[in-house]
């Protein structure tokens, strides 16, 4: 994974010539629409601060696995000029529209059809490259700025990744409960291999965890072995915590619900999610480990 990120990082540097830009904004009347908020964060990294933010289609508290478009959202899609989406597997509610509008003036840019992929730094790096290519094509006058921002974004993602790999190095086997697989790839990529799946029946397209596995996880909580559980907006461990009061809980948002859309928003989002996870795993703040900062 790291190797892959490095390849992208280097290819971004090589393919895209260095930029010596005057600070001109990407500023046109183009209506840009991104399907989900994490894509708006990556878009902002490539275009902010002067360019208008992209519109976001799916509300950040929605669940992609069983989402369907309202009439108003359909209207939003039909008015957009440039649409960034993840693809038919991840976003089936857009698949038919993408087909239907193929012949129109709309430009649909398919980014990365990998479930929860936007939560992985190396996938985010790929998303940013595809997005930057589409933006350069549309705004050739802003090529150098967009490319410079892409390089900066790749670099900040890489720093985030190495920083957290360092912080998590001593926690690689520490078990923790995941009530939904969204953050599994991210945590694994950063060296945390102790994720224990604990999905109830309301798991939105994911198969629930078997009874035996859940009972075994409960035994490990009772024994004090598992001390951290990761909640999401629709994954609630409060009843489990009532039974096992020593269980710490962190609530993470796969759709970046609480993150401001700014140029640094994507990195801030993952950084604060990982800080929350660190605190959940260790009972202490990651700030105490700041000597490991790069
Ligand atoms: Zn999921």
Written as six digits, the tokens of 83 are 């649409």
| Inter-axis angle of helices 92-100 and 71-79, nearest 10 | 50
Tell me how far the alpha carbon of residue 220 lies from the centroid of ligand 1, in angstroms: 25
Q: Which of 165, 194, 214 is the last residue of a domain?
A: 165
Task: Report the separation in Å between the CA atom of 62 and the middle of ligand 1, taken as the mean of its atom positions.
Answer: 12
Q: What confidence tens digit (pLDDT) does each residue in 221-274 have?
A: 999 999 999 999 888 999 999 999 999 999 999 999 999 999 999 999 999 999
pLDDT per residue as tens digits for the range 32-44? 999 999 999 999 9
- Of 149, 165, 181, the domain-final residue: 165
Q: Please check whether residues 51 and 71 belong to one and the same domain.
A: yes
Residue 91 in this model has a pLDDT that exceeds 90: yes
Residue 47: domain span? 2-165
CATH number for the domain harbouring residue 131: 3.40.50.1980
Indicate if the pLDDT at residue 143 is higher than 70.
yes
Task: Please report the pLDDT score of residue 216 as a whole number.
Answer: 96
- Calculate mean pLDDT across residues 131-155: 96
Residue 51: per-residue pLDDT: 81
Shared domain for 22 and 155, answered yes or no, is yes
Sign of CA dihedral 175, 286, 63, 187: negative
Residue 292 confidence (pLDDT) above 50: no
Q: At what angle do helices 2-15 and 121-138 cross, to 10 degrees?
A: 20
Answer yes or no: do 133 and 263 share one domain. no
Stretch 50-56: mean pLDDT:
88
Same domain, 190 and 152: no
Co-location of 126 and 271 in the same domain? no
Domain count, the chain: 2
CA of 254 to the centre of ligand 1 (A): 9
23 and 147 inside one domain: yes
Q: Find the 116 Cα to ligand 1 centroid distance in Å.
A: 7
Which residues does residue 85 pair with via DSSP β-bridges, in sequence order?
A: 110
pLDDT at 221: 97
Together in a domain, 41 and 103: yes
pLDDT band at residue 168 using 50, 70 and 90 as cut-offs? very high
Positive or negative: CA dihedral 208, 209, 212, 215: negative
Rounded distance between C-alpha atoms, residue 285 and residue 268, angstroms: 16
31 and 138 belong to one structural domain: yes
Last residue of a domain, one of 165, 182, 204: 165
28 Cα: distance to centroid of ligand 1 (angstroms): 35
Q: How high does pLDDT run on average in the chain?
A: 88
Question: Of 51-60, 62-71, 198-207, 209-218, which gets the smallest average pLDDT?
Answer: 198-207
Q: How far apart are CA 14 and CA 57, in angstroms?
A: 34
Residue 293: asked if its preceding bond is cis (omega within 30°), the reply is no
DSSP-assigned beta bridge partners for residue 250 = 230
Q: Distance, CA 231 to ligand 1 centroid (Å)?
A: 13
Are 83 and 189 contained in the same domain? no
In angstroms, rounded to a whole number, what is the distance separating the alpha carbons of residues 179 and 199? Answer: 5
Closest Cα partner for 41 from 165, 166, 127, 135? Answer: 127
- Model confidence at 192, in pLDDT bands (50, 70, 90)? very high
Cα of 61 vs centre of ligand 1, distance in Å, is 13
8 Å CB contact between 55 and 34: yes
Instruction: Report the distance separating Cα 263 and Cα 40, nearest Å.
Output: 10
* Alpha carbons 165 and 155: distance in angstroms, whole number: 15
Query: Exposed, middle or buried: residue 76 (CB in 10 Å: 0-12, 13-18, 19+)?
Result: middle
For residue 202, pLDDT beyond 70: no
Ligand 1 geometric centre to CA of 179 (Å) = 10
Residue 110 shares a structural domain with residue 13: yes
pLDDT for position 289: 56
Same domain (yes/no): 153, 37: yes
37 and 100 fall within a common domain = yes
| pLDDT-based confidence at residue 19 (cuts at 50, 70, 90) | very low
How many angstroms does the Cα of residue 101 sit away from the middle of ligand 1?
Answer: 27
Tell how far the Cα of 63 is from the centroid of ligand 1, in angstroms. Answer: 8
Q: Do the beta carbons of residue 77 and residue 102 sit within 8 Å?
A: no
Task: Tell me how far the alpha carbon of residue 59 lies from the centroid of ligand 1, in angstroms.
Answer: 16
**Comparison of pLDDT for 62 and 248, the residue scoring more:** 248
For 15, the token pair is: 């393919």
Query: How remote is the CA of residue 208 from the centroid of ligand 1, in Å?
Result: 11
pLDDT, tens only, 123-141 = 999 999 999 999 999 999 9
The Cα 183–Cα 106 span in angstroms is: 33
Q: What was the pLDDT predicted at 25?
A: 46
Query: Where in the chain does DSSP place strands (E)?
Result: 32-34, 55-56, 82-85, 107-110, 176-178, 195-197, 228-231, 248-251
118 CA → ligand 1 middle, Å: 12
The per-type count for the chain, helices as H runs and strands as E runs, is 10, 8
């Amino acid at each position: 994974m790291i190797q892959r990120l490095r390849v992208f990082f280097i290819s971004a540097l090589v393919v895209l010539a260095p930029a010596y830009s005057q600070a001109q904004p990407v500023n046109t009347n183009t209506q840009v629409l991104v399907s989900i908020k994490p894509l708006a964060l990556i878009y902002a990294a490539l275009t902010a601060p002067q360019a208008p933010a992209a519109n976001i289609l799916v509300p950040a508290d929605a669940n992609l696995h069983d989402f369907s478009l309202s009439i108003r959202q359909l209207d939003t899609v039909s008015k957009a000029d440039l649409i960034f989406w993840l693809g038919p597997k991840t976003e089936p509610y857009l698949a038919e529209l993408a087909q239907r509008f193929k012949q129109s003036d709309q430009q649909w840019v398919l980014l990365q059809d990998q479930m929860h992929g936007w939560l992985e730094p190396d996938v985010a790096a790929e998303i940013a490259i595809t997005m930057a290519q589409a933006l350069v094509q549309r705004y050739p006058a802003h090529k150098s700025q967009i490319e410079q921002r892409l390089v900066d974004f790749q670099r900040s993602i890489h720093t985030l990744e190495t920083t957290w790999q360092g912080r998590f190095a001593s926690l690689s086997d520490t078990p923790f409960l995941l009530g939904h697989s969204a953050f599994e790839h991210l945590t694994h990529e950063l060296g945390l291999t102790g994720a224990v799946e604990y999905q109830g029946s309301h798991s939105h397209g994911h198969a629930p965890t078997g009874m035996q596995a859940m009972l075994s996880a409960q035994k490990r909580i009772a024994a004090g072995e598992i001390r951290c559980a990761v909640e999401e907006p629709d994954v609630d461990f409060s009843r489990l915590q009532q039974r096992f009061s020593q269980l710490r809980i962190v609530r993470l948002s796969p759709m970046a619900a609480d993150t401001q859309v700014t140029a640094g928003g994507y990195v801030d989002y993952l950084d604060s999610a990982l800080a929350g996870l660190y605190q959940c795993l260790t009972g202490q703040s990651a700030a105490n480990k700041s000597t490991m900062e790069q």
